[in-house]
Amino acid sequence: MTFKIGFESEQKKKEPAESIFTAPQKKAEPRKSLVQIYFEARNMTLAYYNDMFDLHCGDIVYVDGRLEGLIGRVTQVNYNFKINISDYKKVIALADTDIQGKFFIAGSSLITFQREALPASKVSLWFNAPAGSDTEFEIGYDDTSFPLNSLKDMDISPVVAERGSQYYIENKIKYISIDGTKGYAVVSGSKNYEIEFEYNNGEISRLVCSCFCSYNCKHEFAAMLQLQETLNFIEKNFEDEYKRTGYFAAINKSALFSFAVAGKDKGSVTFE
Ligand SMILES: [Zn+2]
């Protein structure tokens, strides 16, 4: 049985398509504030100065300084303050967690066929800190490919494949999407890793992972297993939708809830 779930946020805004590694930023006018931010990874709350965004309680943010790279949640916003700027580190990025669109329940995931509902560009900041301005990425590809429905043809050691299977069983694939032939996934391990690949006529190529290993890794294998499952589900239930848009994005249920619903005190969820 299929349920339709609609998410709607109060502030509706459309953002132009961007590269998945171009972190989109909220466009609201910045409002200077002194904010308290909770870092779950450290179980600590610290004060930061903000002059780049209009921050609210529940916002997911990143900061500079000692806790750079850790995800934080705004727990308090003060507009009335006088501080010595040099005493404070700053908020440097704000994740956009407003969701709008139609999602279908698919096992451990929710699937949408609407490009604007949950693009990789938006989700990227939910799971990973923005790359520092001094970070430079280089990607190289060989010309190998393998059929998605025959992962034994993937060049991967049995031990690594076994670990990847375990990741898949434990629902560690937080997000996976295909736009045309371009695939993207987020797999959580000791941290969150981003996987990119090409998917064309059932063949996978140009498979790379941000764990920077030089061989096919467990994150990639886990993502391939999730892709098999999701595409099988789509084929059985939503073939027409997928054919029409050439796009899908599937997000782990609990991940969507924790970012889009938990910690927010405004917005709406529609079940139809
Ligand atoms: Zn990896």
| pLDDT (tens digit per residue) in 33-64 | 999 999 999 999 999 999 999 999 989 999 99
268 C-alpha to ligand 1 centroid (Å): 36
C-beta separation of 119 from 70 below 8 A: no
pLDDT beneath 70: ranges in the chain: 1-27, 133, 271-272
3-state helix, strand, coil in the chain (%, to 5): 20, 30, 45
Torsions phi, psi for 36 (to 5 deg): -95, 130
56/50 Cα distance (integer angstroms): 11
- Return residues with CB closer than 5 A to ligand 1 (ion): 193, 209, 211, 217, 219
119 C-alpha to ligand 1 centroid (Å): 21
211 C-alpha to ligand 1 centroid (Å): 4
Instruction: List, in sequence order, every residue forming a beta bridge with 22; answer none if it has no partner.
Output: none
31/101 Cα distance (integer angstroms): 28
189/72 Cα distance (integer angstroms): 19
77 C-alpha to ligand 1 centroid (Å): 37
113 C-alpha to ligand 1 centroid (Å): 26
C-beta separation of 30 from 49 below 8 A: no
C-beta separation of 156 from 167 below 8 A: no
pTM, full prediction: 0.84
Of 6, 249, 218, 272, residue with least CA distance to 114: 249
222 C-alpha to ligand 1 centroid (Å): 9
Q: Can you give the residue ranges of every domain in the chain?
A: 25-94, 101-260
pLDDT at 27: 64
161 C-alpha to ligand 1 centroid (Å): 12
C-beta separation of 100 from 63 below 8 A: no
208 C-alpha to ligand 1 centroid (Å): 8
62/66 Cα distance (integer angstroms): 11
pLDDT at 143: 81
42/72 Cα distance (integer angstroms): 10
186 C-alpha to ligand 1 centroid (Å): 10
Instruction: List, in sequence order, every residue forming a beta bridge with 199; answer none if it has no partner.
Output: 204
pLDDT at 5: 63
Burial class of residue 39 in the structure, from the number of CB atoms within 10 Å of its CB (0-12 exposed, 13-18 middle, 19+ buried) = middle
